[in-house]
Chain A
Amino acid sequence: MAVNTVLRTVKQAVWLGWKVDTNWADPLVFAIYYMVRPLAGLLMAGFMFYVGSTVVDVFSGEHFAFLLIGNSFFIYIVQIVMSMSMLIHDDRAHYEVLKHIYLSPSSLTWYILGRALNGVVNASLSLLLTLGFGVLIFQGILGLPIPINWLGIDLPMLALTMLLGTLCFVSLGYVLSGINIMTSRVQFMLSEYVSSILYLFGGVIFTPELLPSWGQTISNALPVTYFLKSVRFSILHQTGGDFQTSLMLLSLTTLVTVGISVGVFRFAMHKARKDGLIDKKEEY
Chain B
Amino acid sequence: MPDYVETINLCRTFGKKKELVKALDEVSISIKEGEIFGLLGPNGAGKTTLIKILTTLLLPTRGEAYVADFNVVKEADRVRKIINLVSGGETPGYGILSVKENLWFFSQLYGLPSSVAKERSKRLMADLDFEQYANTRMSKLSTGYKQRMSLARGLLSDPKILFLDEPTLGLDVLTAKKLRNYVIDWAKRERKGTVLLTTHYMIEADEMCDRVAIISNGKILACDSPQVLKEDLRRTPIAKIEVSSIQIDFSFIEKVKGIIGYSETRNIQTGVTHLRVMVDDRRVFAEIESKLTEAKLKVLSVNETEPTLEDVYIRLVGKGFEEAEEKAHA
A residues lining the B interface (CB < 8 Å): 5, 8-9, 11-12, 15-16, 19-20, 23-24, 95-97, 99-106, 111, 273-274, 276, 278-279
- A20 vs B101: C-alpha distance when bound (angstroms): 11
State the CA gap A106–B101 with chains docked (Å).
Answer: 18
* B108 engages A105 (CB within 8 Å): no
User: Are A105 and B85 in contact, with the CB atoms below 8 A?
Assistant: no
Residues of B within 8 A of A24 (CB): 96
The interface residues of chain A lying within 8 Å CB-to-CB of B105 are 12, 15-16
Q: Which residues from chain A contact B94 at a C-beta distance below 8 Å?
A: 16, 19-20, 95, 97
Instruction: Give A100 to B108 CA distance when docked, in angstroms.
Output: 12
Per-residue CB contact flags for chain B residues 244-267 toward chain A (1 = under 8 Å, else 0) read: 000000000000000000000000
Residues of chain B within 8 A (CB-CB) of A12 are: 105, 108-109
A97 to B108, CA, bound (A): 15
**Cross-interface CB contact of B153 among A19, A100, A276, cutoff 8 Å:** A100
**Are the C-beta atoms of B84 and A103 separated by less than 8 Å?**
yes
Q: At the interface, yes or no: B199 with Cβ under 8 Å from chain A?
A: no
Whether the pair B59, A273 counts as a contact (CB closer than 8 A) is yes
Whether A101 touches B109, Cβ cut-off 8 Å, given contacts A19-B101, A273-B56, A273-B57, is: yes
B109 nearest CB neighbor, chain A only: A104
Whether B56 contacts A105 by the Cβ 8 Å rule is no
Indicate if B83 sits at the interface (CB-CB under 8 A): yes
Show 29 A/B contacts (Cβ-Cβ < 8 Å), sorted by A: A5-B111, A8-B108, A9-B109, A16-B97, A19-B96, A19-B97, A19-B101, A20-B96, A20-B97, A23-B97, A97-B91, A99-B57, A100-B153, A102-B57, A103-B57, A103-B80, A104-B157, A105-B77, A105-B81, A105-B109, A106-B109, A111-B109, A273-B56, A273-B57, A273-B59, A274-B58, A276-B58, A278-B58, A279-B57
Tell me, rounded to whole Å, the shortest Cβ–Cβ distance linking B74 to chain A.
Answer: 12
Nearest residue (CB) in B for A90 is B94
CA distance A274 to B57 in the complex (A): 9
| Residues B81-99 near A (CB distance < 8 A) | 81, 83-85, 90-91, 93-97
**Bound form: Cα–Cα A194–B105 in Å:** 32
With both chains docked as a complex, state the minimum distance between the C-beta of A112 and any C-beta of chain B, in angstroms.
Answer: 13
Q: Is the CB of A100 within 8 A of B111?
A: no
CB distance from A114 to the nearest CB of B (A): 11
State how many angstroms separate the Cβ of B121 from the closest Cβ of chain A.
15
Decide if A276 touches B93 in the complex (CB within 8 Å).
no
Pair A99/B85 contact, Cβ less than 8 Å = yes
CB of B52 within 8 Å of the partner chain = yes
CA distance A100 to B52 in the complex (A): 12
Complex CA gap A69/B166 in Å reads 55
List, in ascending order, chain A residues with CB within 8 A of B96's CB.
Answer: 19-20, 23-24
Contacts A12-B105, A19-B101 hold; do A105 and B57 have CB atoms under 8 A apart? no
Task: Count residues on chain B whose CB falls below 8 Å from chain A CBs.
Answer: 29
Nearest-CB distance from B35 to chain A (Å)?
21
B91 touches A274 (CB 8 A): no
Pick the residue among A11, A20, A103, A111 that contacts B85 (CB under 8 A). Answer: A103
Rounded to whole angstroms, the CA-CA distance of A279 and B94 in the bound complex is 15
Question: Of all chain A residues, which has the CB nearest B94?
Answer: A95
* Complex: chain A residue closest to B85, CB-CB: A103
Inter-chain CA distance A16–B106, complex, in Å, is 11
- CB nearest neighbor in A for B104: A12
Look across to chain A and name the residue whose beta carbon is closest to the beta carbon of B139. Answer: A95
Q: Which residue of B lies closest to A106 (CB)?
A: B109
Interface string of B166-207 (1 = CB under 8 A from A): 000000000000000000000000000000000000000000
A167 to chain B, nearest CB (A): 25
In this complex, what residue of A is CB-closest to B49?
Answer: A276
Contact A104/B80 with A95-B91, A97-B93 known, Cβ cut-off 8 Å: yes
Q: Is the CB of B110 within 8 A of A104?
A: yes
Q: For the complex, what is the distance from the CA of A5 to the CA of B77, rounded to whole Å?
A: 14
Q: 3 tightest A-B contacts by CB?
A: A104-B109, A96-B91, A106-B109
Query: Which residue of B is nearest A111, CB measured?
Result: B109
CA distance A95 to B91 in the complex (A): 6
Taking a contact as CB atoms under 8 Å apart, the answer to whether A274 and B59 are in contact is yes
Query: Is there a chain A Cβ closer than 8 Å to B55's Cβ?
Result: yes
State the CA gap A208–B316 with chains docked (Å). Answer: 72
Write the nearest CB–CB distance from B290 to chain A, whole angstroms.
47
Of the candidates A104, A111, A276, which one forms a contact with B52 in the assembled complex, judged by CB atoms under 8 Å apart? Answer: A276
* A5, B113: Cα distance in complex, Å: 11
Chain A residues near B153: list those with CB within 8 A.
100
Q: Identify 11 new A-B residue pairs, CB closer than 8 A, beyond the known A95-B91, A97-B93.
A: A96-B90, A96-B91, A99-B57, A103-B83, A103-B84, A104-B110, A105-B77, A105-B81, A111-B109, A276-B57, A278-B57
Q: Give the residue of A8, A19, A103, A279 whose beta carbon is less than 8 angstroms from that of B111.
A: A8
Q: How far is the CB of A184 from chain B (nearest CB, A)?
A: 16
Residues of A within 8 A of B91 (CB): 95-97
> Is A100 in contact with B57, judged by CB distance below 8 angstroms?
no
